[in-house]
A and B are shown apart, each in its own frame.
Chain A
Amino acid sequence: MACFTVPLAEAVIVATAQSLGGHAKSRNPFLARLGWLRDMAFGGSFLLAIEHVWHGEITWRFPFLTAVENGETSEMLREMATSGVAMALLVTTAWVCMVLVSMLREHPSAATEA
């Protein structure tokens, strides 16, 4: 119903942290690649929002969510807590794997030493 709001919130937090910290040139590989997580979370949330509009779960009138209009707020919140959190965790896990792979590609000697 509104499960995409959880990764969207994660994207906002990451983008805010990026703008405040300016981590693009950080030596920490995870901080330097926060933009990847931001793009995945924002982009995925944007496309999922389109799907929710398609299925009529988002409207242009307040409160913008048909689940709230129909009195299904508790079910919506449960879906956010389960599916939404799972989406955010999966995207974050994928980002961590991407950063680790990029670190191995940049420094293959680190992999052989390990």
Chain B
Amino acid sequence: MCEILTICAALSCTVLYFAHRKTPALLATTLMFWGAALMWSVDCAVSALEGEGFFDLSLDDTYLGLVILAAGFAVWAVLALRDRRRARAAA
């Protein structure tokens, strides 16, 4: 579920970036989620080669996915605040 939630977050941020707000903070967050999704896909592939399922659909992994989403959006908030301060300082 962690991988699935990360991919959903990456897709959502990508759509939001291209359709609505092309901000540096959103771009960095989008790239962060895509980087994590790609890295986890390697982990999932290794698990599948070892005989386990590609996706871990356990409740524990779902909670982890929610924590990952929270961390990712916390990074977005920090970057957005930083960009706003910089814009104000420049103005």
Identify the A interface with B (CB < 8 A): 3-4, 7, 36, 39-48, 50-51, 54, 82-83, 86-87, 90-91, 94
State in angstroms the CA–CA spacing of A7 and B41 once bound together. Answer: 14
Could you say which of A44, A45, A50 has the most chain B C-beta atoms within 10 Å of its C-beta?
A44
For chain A, what secondary structure do more than half of its interface residues adopt (helix, strand, loop), or is it mixed?
Answer: helix
* B contact residues around A4 at 8 Å (CB): 39
Q: Across the interface, do A94 and B2 meet the contact criterion of CB distance under 8 Å?
A: no
For chain B, what secondary structure do more than half of its interface residues adopt (helix, strand, loop), or is it mixed?
Answer: helix
Could you say which of B33, B42, B43 has the most chain A C-beta atoms within 10 Å of its C-beta?
B42
23 contacts between A and B (CB under 8 A): A3-B43, A40-B32, A40-B35, A43-B28, A43-B29, A43-B31, A44-B34, A46-B75, A47-B6, A47-B68, A48-B40, A51-B2, A54-B64, A54-B67, A82-B46, A83-B46, A87-B38, A87-B42, A90-B38, A90-B39, A91-B35, A91-B38, A94-B34
* B contact residues around A87 at 8 Å (CB): 38-39, 42
State in angstroms the CA–CA spacing of A47 and B30 once bound together. Answer: 13
State in angstroms the CA–CA spacing of A90 and B34 once bound together. Answer: 11
Identify the B interface with A (CB < 8 A): 2, 6, 27-29, 31-43, 46, 64, 67-68, 71-72, 75
* B contact residues around A39 at 8 Å (CB): 27-28, 31-32, 35
Q: Across the interface, do A44 and B39 meet the contact criterion of CB distance under 8 Å?
A: yes
* A contact residues around B28 at 8 Å (CB): 39, 43
* A contact residues around B38 at 8 Å (CB): 40, 44, 87, 90-91, 94
Beta-carbon nearest neighbor of A6 in chain B:
B39
* B contact residues around A45 at 8 Å (CB): 35, 39
State in angstroms the CA–CA spacing of A83 and B37 once bound together. Answer: 14
- Interface contacts beyond A39-B32, A90-B38: sample of 9 additional A-B pairs, CB < 8 Å, sorted by A: A39-B31, A43-B29, A43-B35, A48-B36, A48-B39, A50-B67, A51-B2, A90-B39, A90-B42
